[in-house]
Chain A
């Protein structure tokens, strides 16, 4: 059974850092396009970052480029999001999602974690 379990969220001051983790089971993260998607309180979904299957190319939304870093640990089958220079507007529930390329581009987010809340406030 495919499962994604996020952790690492919490309260952090503006300018601070936080690292989110997403432990995967039932599949291998290196074989999929793993993404982080966030949702600010009462708002819609916003794609944050992706790490490609295989070689692991990474891409970011303009809103987080230069501040966030996505990575994975192959033997732990875990996805990470290192978030630096956090701002109030980064406050959101952060979901990790598995991207599965079954047809044409782009991959589908077929499995999602339960989300972890990040609050940036003084």
Chain B
């Protein structure tokens, strides 16, 4: 069981908007630690998608956005495209574990 909780799956039609939640606790997200998001396409290594809660690395489309509030964070994807079909992971730090923690991952299906 992961320290950060994500829904196992979400889906949406092309062009729609979807959100993926990431719920933590007072020892990680709620403690003020940044949340980062990664996209993992099938058979490939994870790729940084959002850093520092709501920042996009160069090359990531502005269709992807992040937010954080309290003990939770969210990833939003607008204008869904077929190539967005992938697994998405949130990540932060946990002070009680003294280590990095990931969410369990969310599989996005584009219908």
| B51–A102 CB distance below 8 A | yes
**Which residues on A sit within 8 Å (CB–CB) of B93?**
105-106
| A113–B52 CB distance below 8 A | no
Flag A43-60 by CB within 8 Å of B: 1 or 0 each.
011110010000000011
Q: A103-B51, A109-B46 are in contact. Are A62 and B36 (CB under 8 A)?
A: no
Q: A45-B102, A47-B99, A105-B93 are in contact. Are A114 and B52 (CB under 8 A)?
A: no
Partner-A contacts on B (CB < 8 A):
2, 32-34, 36, 38, 40, 45-48, 51-52, 55, 57, 87, 89, 91-93, 97-105
**Which residues on A sit within 8 Å (CB–CB) of B89?**
44-45
Count residues on chain A whose CB falls below 8 Å from chain B CBs.
24
22 of the cross-chain contacts (CB-CB < 8 Å) are A44-B89, A44-B102, A44-B104, A45-B89, A45-B91, A45-B102, A45-B105, A59-B99, A102-B51, A104-B32, A106-B34, A106-B100, A108-B36, A108-B48, A108-B51, A108-B52, A109-B36, A109-B48, A110-B48, A110-B51, A110-B57, A112-B45
A35 within 8 A of B: yes
Q: Is the interface of A mostly helix, strand, loop or mixed?
A: strand
Q: A104-B32, A106-B92 are in contact. Are A50 and B99 (CB under 8 A)?
A: yes
Residue of B nearest to A114 (CB): B45
A68 within 8 A of B: no
**Which residues on A sit within 8 Å (CB–CB) of B46?**
37, 45, 95, 109, 112
Residue of B nearest to A113 (CB): B45
| A62–B45 CB distance below 8 A | no
| A46–B102 CB distance below 8 A | yes
A88 within 8 A of B: no
Please report the C-alpha to C-alpha distance between residue A75 and residue B104 in the assembled complex, in whole angstroms: 37
Flag A96-122 by CB within 8 Å of B: 1 or 0 each.
000000111110111011110000000
A61 within 8 A of B: yes
Residue of A nearest to B55 (CB): A103
**Which residues on B sit within 8 Å (CB–CB) of A37?**
46, 102
